Structure 1
Amino acid sequence: MYLYEFYRLFKKTLKNLYPEPKELETLFFLLTTHIFQCDQTNILLQLGNKEKINFLIYKKLIKKLWELKKNRPIQYVIGKAYFFDMEFIVNEKVFIPRPETEELVLWILQEHKSHNFVQIFDIGTGSGCISIILKKRKLGMIHAIDFSHEILDIARKNAKLHNVEISFEKVNLLKEMIPTSKMNNNSVSIIVSNPPYIRLSERKFLHPNIIQYEPIQALFVPDEDPFIFYKKIFFCIKKKFAGIVYVYFEINQFIYLDVIELLSKIGFLNIEIRKDFQGYSRMIRAVYYAYNKRIL
């Protein structure tokens, strides 16, 4: 088979799942550049020159195409995702990094260019993409936290891939406290998190490939307690932190006003909401002044 023939088959097979031509084309190039281990220009040349595909390569392409037809996200199909134009290893154990999270990290980098933070806590690190980008920018000591060894193993592989040193710690946030080293009233900390925040009743609004393949525990919260993870983080801040604590969270755009109200009641100041590239209120930053706290 020629590559251009596979291109036609690819579009025909997936056009109902991905009706947007640009999205379909992006998927095609992500798959083929991965399989051929080349850049997009090389694929375009092969298409233009009507080059034949090696039989073993063709078998790999067909196998991956059927995975895509079953709604499996392209990132899981090829085993990698891109974040800040850097490659990250991913599988079904971790949430796929999103452009909205890039915007959250960029917000942190914009506001803290000159700070040397004592500690940064990435709660629910997943692939480790947030921690790794922040470490690359030398903001301070990073504590990357998640609840399973399997998830942390993926994050460690990504840290090794990008040659950064990060402290990885297994913590079940709903049962345990955020581990902190000694702090004082001069301490400055950042807590960044993209915790589960989609209410179960909102499940019907998600794309099927998210529901079928991405980790459920990284997505959903009970309708009756949608702020369960935020509240646990706030409890840890009040109990264990001293000095100035900045929090940066991704949030549910449908209940962002409730998040503001919750932060205000607890005592957070300088609360700001930002919209993502799609115009949804999806990010929040706030500051807590935890002076004169007894560290447990």
Structure 2
Amino acid sequence: MVSIYKFYNLFQKTLKHLYEDPRELENIFFLLTTHILKCDKTTVLLQLINKKGKISIFFYKKLIKKLWELKKNRPIQYVIGIAYFFGMKFIVNEKVFIPRPETEELVSWILHIFNTNIITINTGHIQIFDLGTGSGCISITLKKKKPDIGLIYAIDAYTEVIDIARKNAALHNVEISFKKVNILKNIISIPIINKHSINIIVSNPPYVKLSEKKLLHLNIIQYEPHKALFITDEDPLIFYKKISFWIKKSFTGIVYVFFEINQFIYLDIIDFMKKIGFSNIKIKKDCQGFFRMIHAVFYGKNVKNKI
């Protein structure tokens, strides 16, 4: 038997040079130990406080093995194979981008629109398109929170990514329609059941310019999928343009659009969306104070009463 307090000291000593914020390191410690020991945070905390809590050599060796992975800058979510989003577990690996708190805020914004009756129609008549779904966290959370939503399409360009999102949908027992579509090459192939109904388009596309790579934490650059992160400096709006022109061409009803964005180019995105006919454009800061989300409305030709 080994003291968990001993492992805690080793954990801190091994990783403290990698993480500037002690709170982040503490959070990683509890994510790791609760996952390996199959217990809650309170149990681990009590064992640390009395300094007498013991774990078997079997579990200690498992913790040590994971600690060495963390020492190589591998994100904790990939180390344990799980990320949390809206308090729910999602299966992740290096094929998918790790869900972030900013994206939780984007989903909260969409749910707020439902909850305040801004969308005044039965949710069963609403179609949602999650473009670049990754782990599926956005579409799955929306379906869990609003189970009456009629149809949710989750779109991604890669089979291995969709496979993970399908597992997460099964994990949470929700029905999502997954489609493999390359947004930049073949967005027009996305199926639209009813072009005239109310639709919600949500996307957290790649938006970090290659020139901004140096601003990111090393574990992001080393392990997270670059195809889900980076765009060229020559056309940083490429995904927003493709999606927006597709909306304008394909829908005749009302479309509510929600984008997660790069805070350094938000004015360019707003200007572009205004020029091609989007209205009611709103921008929102994330919890860190960065302009990270845009919401806009597109009124198709069949909409008579435009707000």
> Which TM bucket (shorter chain)?
over 0.9
Hey, what's the Cα distance between the residues in 1 that align with 2:205 and 2:178? 17
Aligned mate of 2:57, from 50, 55, 58: 55
User: How far 1:292 moved relative to its partner?
Assistant: 4.7
Q: For 1:128-167, what aligned pairs fall within 5 Å after superposition?
A: 128-136=136-144, 137-138=146-147, 139-167=149-177
Contact 2:135-2:164 at 8 Å conserved across structures: yes
Contact 1:244-1:291 at 8 Å conserved across structures: no
TM-score, normalised with respect to structure 1? 0.95
Contact 2:30-2:44 at 8 Å conserved across structures: yes
Q: Which amino acid aligns with 1:120?
A: I
Tell me whether 1:127 sits opposite 2:135 in the alignment.
Answer: yes
Relative to 1, partners in 2 of residues 1:172 and 1:42: Cα closer, same or farther, differing over 3 Å?
same
Q: What is the DSSP-based 3-state SS (H/G/I as helix, E as strand, rest coil) of the residue aligned with 1:272? A: strand
TM-score, normalised with respect to structure 2? 0.92
Equivalent position of 2:98 in the other structure: 96
Tell me whether 1:183 sits opposite 2:191 in the alignment.
Answer: no
Hey, what's the Cα distance between the residues in 2 that align with 1:203 and 1:183? 40
Among all aligned residue pairs of Structure 1 and Structure 2, give the percentage whose two residues are the same amino acid.
68
Equivalent position of 1:239 in the other structure: 249
Q: What is the DSSP-based 3-state SS (H/G/I as helix, E as strand, rest coil) of the residue aligned with 2:58? A: helix
Listed as ranges, the gaps of 5+ residues in structure 1 are: none
Hey, what's the Cα distance between the residues in 2 that align with 1:148 and 1:226? 21
Q: For 1:1-296, what aligned pairs fall within 5 Å after superposition?
A: 1-47=2-48, 48-113=50-115, 114=117, 115=121, 116=123, 117-136=125-144, 137-138=146-147, 139-178=149-188, 179-185=190-196, 187-292=197-302
User: How far 1:277 moved relative to its partner?
Assistant: 0.4
Hey, what's the Cα distance between the residues in 1 that align with 2:187 and 2:168? 25
Relative to 1, partners in 2 of residues 1:263 and 1:12: Cα closer, same or farther, differing over 3 Å?
same
User: How far 1:21 moved relative to its partner?
Assistant: 1.7
Hey, what's the Cα distance between the residues in 1 that align with 2:158 and 2:169? 17
Query: Which structure 1 residue ranges, 4+ long, deviate > 3 Å from structure 2?
Result: none
Listed as ranges, the gaps of 5+ residues in structure 2 are: none
Mean Cα deviation higher: 48-57 or 59-68: 48-57
Q: What is the DSSP-based 3-state SS (H/G/I as helix, E as strand, rest coil) of the residue aligned with 1:195? A: coil
Q: Which amino acid aligns with 1:181?
A: I
User: How far 1:184 moved relative to its partner?
Assistant: 4.5
Hey, what's the Cα distance between the residues in 2 that align with 1:261 and 1:9? 52
Hey, what's the Cα distance between the residues in 2 that align with 1:241 and 1:252? 26
Q: How many residues align?
A: 292
Q: Which amino acid aligns with 2:130?
A: D
